Amino acid sequence: MRRLPLLPTLLVGLAVAGMIALGFWQLDRRAQKQSALAVFAANAMQPTITIESGAADSSLLFRHARSACQAVTGWTRQGGRGAQGMQGWRQIATCRTHTDATLLVDMGVTRDPMFRPRWPGGVVSGTLTRAPDHRPLIASMFDSTPQPLMLVSEQAAPGLEPSTPPDIASVPNNHLAYAVQWFLFAGVAIIIYALALRLRARGAPQPGVR
């Protein structure tokens, strides 16, 4: 019986072990996501809370909340959809609360990319979600810091349509599919390597044969 080539076998073994580990990691992530979704569903049924800052507290996601925007210190735009189906640009206000903290508030959608909101602030209420993540994909892969909270206001600023409220159904939970993919990749790698070894054995000269 021919000995297995050491280095290729070691490399394939490490790759397969890594893929299997990633599969189990995705299964663990699936359990965590299911727990989080249960919390989000419960939050949607909770009474309204008062929020003073956009601190990244995931336990408050999908809670109905109110806040007082003492002053608007800036605006940003982000692609989005209105509650009536309008595709356009969300107008996100950076608000200063009475505790001198910062809270992002989605004040509605417009089709006009050059629209300049004229909303000085005030009391707002709506649903809490995560602020848009503008980090590059590579950066977000290596930085797990959650984005701050953002309040999606039920009442739009003048000239805007209210944004679509956050929907729990939009939270992805495809970790099981990812786990299956990693396990399949590991299995395929083993099969391919086994076939390569078999072809190598067939092509090798037999002892005593010239």
pLDDT in tens, 193-204: 999 988 887 766
Q: According to the model, what pLDDT value does residue 141 have?
A: 54
Q: Which strands make up the sheet holding 71-81, listed edge to edge?
A: 49-50, 64-69, 122-130, 149-153, 102-110, 87-96, 71-81
* Dist. CA 113–CA 116, nearest whole Å: 9
Bridge-based pairing of strands 122-130 and 71-81 is unpaired
Bridge-based pairing of strands 64-69 and 102-110 is unpaired
Lowest mean pLDDT across 74-78, 107-111, 143-147, 155-159: 143-147
Quote the mean pLDDT of the chain: 89
**Chain CA centroid to CA 200, Å:** 45
pTM, 2 dp: 0.75
The backbone torsions φ and ψ at residue 52, rounded to the nearest 5 degrees and listed phi first, read -115, -10
Q: According to the model, what pLDDT value does residue 52 have?
A: 87
Inter-residue contact 107 to 91 (CB < 8 Å): yes
In tens, the pLDDT along 143-171 reads: 667 789 999 999 999 999 999 999 988 88
Q: According to the model, what pLDDT value does residue 146 have?
A: 77
